[in-house]
């Protein structure tokens, strides 16, 4: 039986970019780039961010919406 996907929450995933040779590269500004995506939980968001960016994820933050 397939697992039902529920992407109800938004997450921002900060990652460490790689240079052209594939080595981890520090940002000149000190800020990490990020991707935003929807996932069921933080662990799923981290896995998806790694898949999308191909880079190690440093932090995952759940984004709350104002009501």
For residue 32, the enclosing domain spans 9-62
* 1 domain residue, yes or no: no
- How many helices, marked H, and strands, marked E, lie in the chain? 1, 3
**Residue 40, domain member (yes or no):** yes
Instruction: Report the number of distinct structural domains present in the chain.
Output: 1
Kindly state whether residue 67 falls inside one of the protein's structural domains: no
12-64 tens-digit pLDDT: 999 999 888 988 888 778 899 999 999 999 999 999 999 999 999 999 999 98
| pLDDT of 66 | 62
pLDDT tier, 67 (very low <50, low <70, confident <90, very high otherwise) = low
Q: Is residue 3 part of a domain?
A: no
Residue at 50 is within a domain:
yes
């Amino acid at each position: 039986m397939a697992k039902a996907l529920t992407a109800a929450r938004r997450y921002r995933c900060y990652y460490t970019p790689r240079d052209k040779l594939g080595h981890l590269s520090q940002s000149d500004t000190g800020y990490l780039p990020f991707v935003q995506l929807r996932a069921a939980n933080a662990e799923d968001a981290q896995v998806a961010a790694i898949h999308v960016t191909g880079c190690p994820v440093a932090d995952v933050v759940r984004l709350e919406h104002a009501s």
